[in-house]
Structure formats: structure tokens, C-alpha cells
Structure 1
Amino acid sequence: MVLNDMAKKKEMSDAFTYHYEVNAANQLVALFWCDGLMKKNYHMFGDIVAFDSTYNTNRYCMIFTPFTGKDNHGKPVTFTAGLVCNKKTGAFGWLFKHFVEDEFEEEWNGVVERYELEDVNWLNTLYEYRQMWIPAYFRDFPLGSMIRTTSISELENSFYKNFMKPRANLAELYLNFNNALEFQRNARTKLDYNNATVVPILATKLAFEKHASTIYTDSMFRKIQEEIVDGNDRCRVLGFSSTDMVDTYKLGDSRRNSEYCDSRWMKTPLAKTVHGQFDATVDTRSTVDDWQTVSNQGISLFYDFLRRFETDIDVLRAFVGGLEELGHSLQAGTPPTSAFEKRRMIEEFYGMLRPEVLEVHHPDVVKTKGHASNSASRLISKREKAIKEATRPLRRCKACDELGHHDSRNCPMLKEIAKEKELRKGKRKC
């Protein structure tokens, strides 16, 4: 069901990419996928990529690994996702090669062939030492808070844990992942809307603070604003006035000053790709259907009216009450379903059709540490052991002639006698 749904998305959108591997028994061992919007986010914010391969969240104990970064709002953004068995962790190398290196190889070879540079020795030598390019490229790059990739992965795993269940099958995991991804994208849509409509409160009368508020996202502008206020206070202490700072800003107009601004944290319409180029004509939606379009319209309308009514609590309550009443009325008009429609309901719930013939089978269910196949091999606690010992019948020990839960093989009295003999032997040797 999962693979067929991905194949359908691939037919509807060329930007959707997926790859899977199976073993000799046609059992799934690796699966990777990403849609067009994920690819676009990678081109926009893929200067740092973090991934954590220690997060399991399915009944087969396949490693679920989201590849993430930070968007221009400083929030986690997903680039792609993968599922691999514990014995196939090397597939992550394939993922990077398939999604990153192959694209670079094609572009490089294209340039060499186009300009007939095959026999240029220094260019060939430069290509051989390409593993040294990254340190040189990032020498003057302002990484900022993005250098702590571990915290990014932990934050992303915590986010997905709210949507995914540890014992879910692959279809449920895929469905929950899509819901989580949609929630993440809706949250970013809300932030973009707020950045486009809300005017931030300025702390000074400086022109470049006002200019910064028009180009940077709200989360980044608040950090820049703190620096502006601190710099303004220092200038006053040193005897400079705000007029001097304004005159300095006027040396170049806002357009030329924008060239020195970090595009990485600008508002979404102004942000530029951090590497590579992305074809704007490619459809970035995973599916081309009316549901996605109407859903996005509904979200935009909701936040638009919410912003309009936020200053009047009575109108806001009426708005929420009207939404609730409309939802109940629409739900009441839905006809009841029969028991014969169970399969159709399941398929609609997952959003995927169940195939008649199974070509790829799910992996074997892996027993995690502490899990047992039957009650006999289950680990017993000390409390359970004490209760079990107390309910056992008493028997007489032939060594000490006492009633208890022991015999001559593990008699406490014999153990004490043996211990005393060992102590005497030790004293004699001394």
C-alpha cells in the first residue's frame, strides 16, 4: 500500500522521489522518499543537514531517520525521510549519493563537456581534491545557531514522537509522518503570514532598524533588534548621537545595504537558495488534487480572520462558536457507514489502496531488549520472586533438619560452615 501510494505520487508529480530495497525473501530492508517541497526546502535551507539514526518508532524496529535543518524562522524543516533495518544503516550513504552527489556529478560533467575541459590538468586535479572544498567554503560562513546539529535532531525527534506510535505498522507510520509533515508546513505557513501582515514594534527611531524589520523574519529580527539597541546605548555612552548613526546608514541606500544582509534569515519571498538552483516551474506538492488546494485556502482564511478578530474577545468567541456549529452541522449530514464498507474505510483512512497481489512484504517483527515471546522467558521482578517464594510449600532440610524453602544443596547453614573453613585456612597461611 505504501509503495503503491508513492508510485501514484510519482506519476502525479515528477518532483516526488522514492527508492526502496528488498532482501532475497522480498522483505523490505530500506525505504527513502521526499517530495518537491522537501527538495525546495533543501535548496533553500540545506546548508546544514542533521540526521539521527537512533530513533525507532515502528513494530519492525526499522530505524526512522528524518533529515532536517532549520528554516528562515529558526524552526526545524524536513528534507527527506528514511527507514532502514538495523543491518542496513550503510544505506544512508546511498541516500546522500543519490540526492546530493549524483546531482553534483551531473552538473560537473555537464560543464566539462560543454566547454571541452577534459584535458585541463589543474581542473582535473581540483576535482580529485573535492573533499577539501567544504572546509574552505565554510571558512567565512556564519553558521550561527545551526552548528548544534545534535539539538536539531533531538528537537525533530521530539516533534515526530507526538504523531507516531512505537508499535505502528508501516502504513500507519507513513500516514502519521504525512500528518506530522503537514502540521509542520502549516505552522510555517502561519509564520510566513504573520511576517507579511504584522508590523513589529520598533525600539529606536533608527532607519536601519526599520529597514531590518522589513526584510528579516520576526524571529531573526528580534535578535538583530537586541544588537541594535545595545549598539545604540553604547554610542550614547561614547558621546555619539542617533543622528550620526542615521547619517552612516544614508551612505548607501536600502537596496545596496541589502546586499550585505544575510539572505538565509530573510522573509520567505526575499530568501535565496543557499546552494544550487531550484526550478520554480516544478510542482512542489506531493499530490496534485483539489483537497490540498482547498485545505491551504481554509488555513489561510482561518488565520486571516483570527488576526482580524484578535482585538475583540466577543467577536473572537462568536467566530469560534460559528466554526464549531458549522462543523457539527456538516458532520451530522454525513450518512452512517455499513459494516460491508470496512475495507473501503480502511483504504480511505490510509489514503492508499490495498493491492490484490503483494510483491514486497513487510520485515520480520524484531524483539526489542526486555521483550519476550512467552511468559516463561519474561524477566521477573524481585517483588514477584518474593511472592512466589512465600506461596511455595515448606519442606524439611536433611542438613539442618529445619522447615523452609531450601534443601541440602543450598542450605544456609552449610554455606556458613564452608565460609568459616575458608577463613580458618586463610589465617593458617598467614
Structure 2
Amino acid sequence: MGDGEVDDLLIGDDKRDDLQMGDGDSDDSMIGDSDSDDLMIGDGDRDDLQIRGGDDIQMDLTVQTHGGQNKQRVKIIFSPGKTRSYLPICEPDMKPYIGQRFPTLHDGIEFYRRYGAICGFDVRLGTQRKDRYGRITLKYVYCHKEGEKHSVAKKPPTDAETSKSARRLASKRSGCKAFILLINSGSTYFVKKFEEHHSHALCSERYKHFLKANRHMNPGHQRFLMNCARVNMGPLKSYRLYKEFVGGYSNVGCTSVEFKNFSRDLKAYGKGCDAQMLLTNLFEKRELSKAFYFDYDTDNNDHLTRLFWSDPIARRNYAAFGDVVSFDATYTTNRYNMIFAPFIGMDNHRRIVTFGAGLLSKEDTNSYSWLLEKFKHCMARSPHMIITDQDQGMKNAIERVLPETRHRYCMWHIEKKIGERVPFQLRSNKSFKKKIDAVIWSDLIEPDVFVKEWDKVLDEFNLKDHAWLGQIFDAREKWIPAYFRDYPLSGLFRTTSLSESVNSFFGRYLNKASNLVEFFMQYDGALEAQRHAQDVLNSETASSIPKMKTPLPFEKHAMEIYTKKIFLETQSEIAASCYTCRILSISNDGPCCAYKINDGINAEVFDVVYNSNEGTYICSCKKFVRLGLLCCHIFVLFKDTKINAIPEKYILDRWTKNAIQKISFVDGIDVTDKDDPMAEKEMALSRLYSEFYHCVGLFDSDTGEINSFQLALKEYRESRSTIDKSLPTQSTKRRLFENFHRSEVPSVASILPPVPVYTKGSGKRIKSAAEIAMEISKKPLRLGKKCNKRTNHDSRNCDKFSGEATSSAS
């Protein structure tokens, strides 16, 4: 242990009758018991000492560790009968004495606990005596190695128990007689007896942080772990992160076991009442803001079965960007297997934005109908289009609740299934994938062209009689882009990455093992991150001035009105109108002027018609209809007709910089941002943390400044400890849990947690052959002993082995 600055005597594990002491040139001698820690003790004399009989011999020794920085004094007493005792030496004010008085029993116990932590031993609570009023009048507190381990006769194990491996725990008791006796004397407690001699070596400085007295979750640990829990970080990762903050495991103040135990208690808090606690939080949110909307439903036994909620910011986002909504109910993100169904849209930066969410216990038409009814009532209008998977219950619910909304299937789900349903030999056929993608993804062809091209691909690859492809072809009006060319903003969610993006986003924050209260906090954390990213993009848009590519005035106008992301897309179209588009012909018919334009990208020719009376521009590519943004073909006419600014009719508010600021009310309710009084305390703590780390960063390498700051913090902590010592530990812990969950555990829960269910998407799914093949290809190859080749098989399923087995059998 450590490197002393003096000559060393090592007291360790060798059980010898004599003790020899020498200087630094002599061999180290070892005396101790088998479970004691090694101590390095300095001594400068060379006189040899042997204990053969007579009086006790006492040595007052100094332990030096870590280059002499930490010192510990211990007096070891050797008796003639091979016995020895250890007498710790510490500062007088840290050592108990007979007659010492304490205001409370807790103070006396804690004083002895701190004394043990300094000297190198743990304590255990022992015998106590109470008076007839239940007040403790006598209390023993022992060294943790007091007593002996008693062997208890065990019953023979049953058949069910024989398969379980028993825990083999070593005993730490060695018959130590050290203790303190506290006696009540009216309003105080005093030390009646104090035995300070120990029968075992004390813990060395290097391992003192493993003592129970030095291992506890203080409020700093607890708050840190709770903050990590909000972002779905487990106790072990939290422990390693905390270690980095404090500079090492020995400085943490506890072990990973304490972190895991606290996390377990945090999860167990409110067990069986989390549904009621969640609803209590939601009612409080609605009291603070009328714009916060939620509703729920229960079964006949008062179990929560359905829940929908949307906060003011989400409702405001829907008012600005709710043209097209993606509704995906394929997530299970809580311990009850309730389906998490978020309503997703696209904001003015082409990023996903959340409008609200629901939790459902069942995936049927009635459940989806209930959820869509609440969503429609909350938002005060239906979306123009809703995108879902091919669930029949969802399809029925949309027809029932949103009859005016165009229903479209998510292409990501369908394209993924195509790769799984086609014959095996086509799954890796690049030609097939290229041709089928060109047909189903093209939004520049009309429906009749799609049918011809689809038939052509199926004929080429002999898929005309494929039953599943026939089914999705029959449903083509629900998912093929060619059938949505004339529908406003139908191209917003045409990319395959949307579902993957939403799934990945919420997957980073939500945990399937969470109860409902934890789930809601993690959901809020996800929304906070989403909205922070939106704020970053808004800030970049407001503070940056992109470089112009052309001298055209409507390019500068586009930069002034659109967000940065949308402007860059529009700028590319404007540049294309100047440098790649060619006017093939112009024909006039009264107020209408028809242009034929080739954009240099697509082989086909696009027709653009300009009506001078109405000031309208219509292009056959229909990009403005599909996306609400102008195409390069129309910009050719802007340039040709000397347009200086984009006409108002061709500017959709949803793509502009001020899309959100224009929305203040939804259904007559103010949905502008409001301060949350419940978050005031959290904000104050956040500012405190920020200020603390800022101060730490100022110190650099000035040790004096660091020590002064540490001393000031320690003095304040000790002053707070004296104020809060009247609060029991459990009370403080419960108060922390209540603050974390923002709710107390109700004495009686009127709303019970959901009954865990098995949903369509739960359980281990059956993997497709293509997916299995991909997973196998990612595994490292192994050397087969039979075939001596680098393959994915082993000796048991090697072709050579099976051939040898067959021949031997014959």
C-alpha cells in the first residue's frame, strides 16, 4: 500500500511467533491475520525484537501512503500469548471519550461511524433497550467484525432448489471487542463505555473508500443519477460518467452497487400507482395551462387503457405544419407493453416535429378511433393527409373518424416487405431492385404509365403470378406516388428514412422497462431535444446570410422569406433555371403562354403554362402541388417574364421563417409559450450547476484557489448538514423521489396501471431469410477444423464432416 518516505515494516499475512524489525537494508517482516490489509509502517531502528514472554509490547507507528501525503497512526500491542490488538490513533476531537454527550442518539451513532471511517473500520448497530414509552435508553454500537459466524443447520435442498447455485459469502466477523455504549440521560445521550482496541488490522488508506461508512449515496449522487435517468441512462453508465467528473473511482464516494440500488428504489417508487401519479401530473399541467390537452379511458376494473396528450407547443406546431401527419403505432416503450403512437409532422426545416402522442392497450378499430377522435378534437381540424402502416384496424378508424382526410400507406414498410416477399434469388438482384424502385418511387409519371411500367417489370422477372405483389398492386392508390401527384403536399413524407428516423429518435430516449411516470419524463426529454434542435436551426436561419448564386432578384427574395434549409433547396432550383434548363419552344394562346422546357436532368420535356391574366404558373412536374415549393421550370419563366419577387400565392407559410410566430391561438385558446412554474426549481438548479462548472474552469492549475473554493463549499455543506440533520434519511429520500416524479404516492389509487398485454408488434419477431443472411455476413469468419477454410459454419454442420459421416455410416 503506497510508497513510504521512511524505512518500511510490512505487517501482512504471515502468522509467526516472533517479530523482527530492521532498517531499510533488512528484509521486511510480516505479521498479521489472513483477512487484514497490508500496512506499510516506517521504522528507523535496526534493533531486532523477539516476543517470547513477559509484558505487553506497544509500538506507536505511523502509516504513510501516496508518497507521504496521507498519514495514519496506529498503536499495535503485542501480548505474550500470540495475541495482538490494534489501537487507532486520530485527532482528539474525532475520537469518542467516556462522558461525551450528544443531543440525539443519531448524533452519537454518526460520530462513532465517522470515527470508524477515519480509522479504518465499519460499525454495526447492536443491542438496545427501550423504556415503557418506546424511547431508547441504551444502545451498543460495535465494530463490524464483532462476534463470530454461527453455522446453521440447513434443510436438505428440494429438487427445485438443487438447480440453483447457492451464494458463498465469506464472514467478516473475527470476534472484535471494540464498541461504544450510549446511555440516555434525559434530553441527551452520553458515552458510558468505550472500548477502542481492535483484534484485527485496520483498513489501509488505499481501500478506505470501500468501507460502508465511506460508501453512501449523498444528495449530489442522487440528483446526478436522477438526471441521468431522465435521459434514459442506466446506473452503470451514470456511475462511469460520475467517475470522470470526480477524477477516479476512489473519489466517487460509493460503488456501482449503491448506484444500482438507488436506481432500483427509484423505479420501485409508486409501484402500482404510476397510472394515478401520471394522471395527477397531467391534471396539474392542465391547471397551469388551458392549452395543455389530455384525455384518458379505463376499463370496467379502472385499469388505464387509453391516453392521449398534447402540450401547447405541440398544438401550435400542428397549426403551422399539420398539413400531413404520420401516425405510426408500432412502438412498445413501457413495461406494460402499451403501444406508443406519436403523431408526427415535418417542420419548416424539413425536420420531424411531434404534434401529440397516445398510449393504447389494444390495437383494434375502437382504440384507434378513440385516439383519432381525441386528436381531432384537440387540434380543431383534420389533417389533409395521414400516413400509416397497413393495419386494418387503423384503416377502419380513419374511414370512421377522418372521412375527409386522404389516407396513404407508408412506403417504408411496403418497400421493406418487397425485399422479404419476392423469391430468394431476386433479393440480392440489383437490376430488379433498381427497376422496381424506379417504378414505385417516381412522382413524375401518371397512373397509367405506372401500370404499364409495373407490368413490364413483373413480366421481365416472372412475377406476374406472385400473390402478395398482386395484393399491393390492388392497393396502389394508397401508396404509389403517381396516384398522389395532384394532391397538395403529398410529397412531404415520400422518403424511406422518415419511419427509421422517428423510430431511432424516440429509441434514444424511451426505455421499454419504464413505468408510466418515467416514460412521460423521457418523452418530455425527447421533445425538449427535438425543440432545442429546432431552435438551433431557427437561430442559424436568423443569423446567417447565404451566398447568392445568381443576380436574380427573386433569389434574394427567397433568402429573405424561407428558412435556411428551404432556401438552399430553392436556390438549387433557381441556379438550375439559369445554367441547365433549356427552352425548347414557346407558344401563345391568348393570355396563356406555353413553354416546353428540358431541365438537363430528366430526359423528358416539361410543359409550363403562364396565364398573364391570373398571374398563374403551372408545370407538368407538379412540384409545387406535391411540396409547396417552386421548380426550376417555373423559375425559367420568372426570369423570362422579369419577375422580381416570388408571388404571394406561391409562398406557403409552412416553409417561411415566421411560420410558428404567426400562430397564437388554436380553437380560441392561447398556445404561445408560457413559463412553467413547476420547472422554476429545476432551472435554478441548472443555473447553479452551470455556475459551479464555470468557476471550476477558472481555477486552471492554481492549487491555492482550488483549495479555498473547496473549503468554502465544505463549510457550507457542513452548515446545511446541521440544519437538515433532524430529517430522517428515508424522509429525505422520499422527498427526492417526489420531486423527481413531481407527485406523491397516493394513499388510494383510483386509476390502476394497465394490464400488460401482448400486442401485434411485441415479442421476438420472426426474421426474414434476407435479414438472417445479412446478419450472418456481418459475423467474422471462423476457421473450420474439418475443411480448413474461413467460413460461417463449424465442424458439426460442415459439408465435409457430413460427407464423412454419411460414408462411414454406409
Fold conserved (TM > 0.5)? Answer: yes
Answer yes or no: is the 8 Å Cα contact 2:348–2:659 preserved in 1: no
Of 715, 728, 735, the residue aligned with 1:344 is: 735
Query: Are residues 248 and 292 of structure 1, via their aligned partners in 2, closer, same or farther at CA, if it must alter by over 3 Å?
Result: farther
In structure 2, the partner of 1:145 is 492
Equivalent-residue separation in structure 1 for 2:365 and 2:681 (angstroms) = 37
Query: Does the aligned pair in 1 maintain the 2:308–2:359 contact within 8 Å?
Result: yes
Name the amino acid aligned to 2:326. Answer: A
- Measured against aligned partners, the alpha-carbon deviations of 1:93-135 in whole angstroms (never above 9, x if no partner) come to 22222332687699xxxxxxxxxxxxxxxxxxxxxxx946759
Residue in structure 2 matched with residue 21 of structure 1 by the alignment? 297
Of residues 24, 36, 51 in structure 1, which corresponds to 2:327? 51
Cα pair 2:552 2:644 within 8 Å, conserved = no
1:205-258 Cα offsets, whole Å, 9 max, x none, are: 3222121111111111111111122222136999xxxxx98994884553x724
Q: What is the Cα deviation at residue 362 of structure 1? A: 0.9
Residues 1:278 and 1:73: Cα distance change in structure 2 (over 3 Å) = same
Shift of 1:283: 3.8
> Are residues 1:259 and 2:653 paired?
no
Tell whether 2:516 aligns with 1:170: yes
The range that moved more, 79-88 or 210-219, is 79-88
The one-character-per-residue Cα deviations of 1:328-355 (angstroms, maximum 9, x if unpaired) are 9899677678443111101111223332
Q: Distance in 2 between the 1:340 and 1:320 partners?
A: 27
**Could you say what secondary structure the match of 2:500 adopts?**
helix
**Cα deviations across residues 123-177 of structure 1 (Å, max 9, x unaligned)?**
xxxxxxx9467599993524333245x7433312211111111111111101100
Judging by fraction of residues, say which structure has more helix: 1
Query: Distance between the aligned counterparts of 1:270 and 1:87, measured in 2?
Result: 34
Q: Is the 8 A contact 1:26 1:359 kept in 2?
A: yes
Kindly indicate whether the alpha-carbon contact (under 8 Å) linking 1:35 and 1:285 is maintained by their aligned counterparts in 2: no
Taking the aligned partners of 1:293 and 1:216, their CA distance within structure 2 comes to 38
* Structure 1 residues 349-360: aligned runs within 5 Å: 349-360=740-751
Is the 1:68–1:77 Cα contact (8 Å) retained in structure 2? yes
Report the secondary structure of 1:194's partner residue.
Answer: helix
Alignment of 1:281-300 (within 5 A): 282-285=670-673, 288-289=676-677, 291=679
The answer on 1:190 being equivalent to 2:536 is yes
**Larger RCO, structure (CA 8 Å, separation 6 or more):** 1
Report what 2:359 is aligned to: 83
For the aligned residues, what is the CA RMSD? 4.5
Give distance in 1, aligned partners of 2:679 and 2:580. Answer: 55
Letter paired with 1:261? I
Judged with a 3 Å threshold, the aligned counterparts in structure 2 of structure 1 residues 131 and 369 are, in CA distance, closer, same or farther, namely closer
5+ residue gaps, structure 2: 1-276, 383-401, 408-482, 585-634, 699-705, 765-809
CA contact (8 A) 2:308 2:357 kept: yes
Q: Secondary structure at the match of 1:80?
A: strand
Equivalent position of 2:562 in the other structure: 216
8 Å CA contact retained: 1:66, 1:80: yes
Count of residue pairs the alignment pairs up: 323
| Letter aligned with residue 358 of structure 1 | A
Correspondence for 1:278 among 662, 666, 670: 666
Equivalent residue, structure 2, for 1:5: 281
Contact 2:291 2:669 in 1 (8 A): no
Q: CA contact under 8 A between 2:324 and 2:489: conserved in structure 1?
A: no
Q: Check 1:322–1:280 CA distance in 2 against 1; reply closer, same or farther (3 A cut).
A: farther
* Structure 1 contact 35–286 (Cα < 8 Å) conserved: no
Q: Would you say the 8 A contact 1:2–1:171 is kept in 2?
A: yes
Aligned equivalents of 1:199 and 1:186: distance in 2?
21
8 Å contact kept, 1:68–1:153: no
Partner residue of 1:157?
503
Compared with structure 1, are the counterparts of its residues 56 and 363 closer, same or farther at alpha carbon in structure 2 (3 Å cutoff)?
Answer: same
Conserved in 1, the CA contact under 8 Å of 2:338 and 2:359? yes
The 8 Å contact of residues 59 and 167 in structure 1, kept in 2 or not, is answered as yes
SS of equivalent to 1:31: strand
- 1:59 and 1:166 in contact (8 A); partners too: yes
Aligned-partner SS, 1:146? coil
The residue matched to 2:748 in structure 1 has which SS?
coil
Query: Structure 2 length normalisation: TM-score?
Result: 0.35
What SS does structure 1 have at the residue aligned with 2:332?
A: coil
CA distance in 2, matches of 1:21, 1:323: 50
Q: 1-side partners of 2:488 and 2:342: how far apart?
A: 25
Using the aligned pairs only, state the percent identity. Answer: 31
Cα pair distance change 1:342/1:292, threshold 3 Å: closer
Aligned partners of 2:297 and 2:323: how far apart in 1?
Answer: 28
Matched, 1:179 2:525: yes
Distance in 1 (CA, whole Å) between partners of 2:557 and 2:286 is 43
Deviation at 1:5, TM superposition (A): 0.6
Higher strand share: 2
What SS does the corresponding residue of 2:670 show, helix, strand or coil? coil
TM-score (normalizing by structure 1): 0.62
What displacement does 1:359 show? 0.6
Q: Deviations over 1:69-99 (max 9, x none)?
A: 1111111111111111135563222222233
Following the alignment from structure 2 to structure 1, what is the Cα–Cα distance between the partners of residues 343 and 294? 14
Max radius of gyration: which structure? 2
**2:624 is the counterpart of 1:234:** no
Instruction: Give the partner amino acid of 2:658.
Output: T
Residue matched to 1:389: none
| Conserved? CA contact 1:216–1:267, under 8 Å | yes
Q: Describe the SS at the equivalent of 1:90.
A: helix
Can you list the C-alpha shifts for 1:248-302, whole angstroms capped at 9, x where unaligned?
A: 4884553x724322322111358867xx973686044586327479969x99xx9
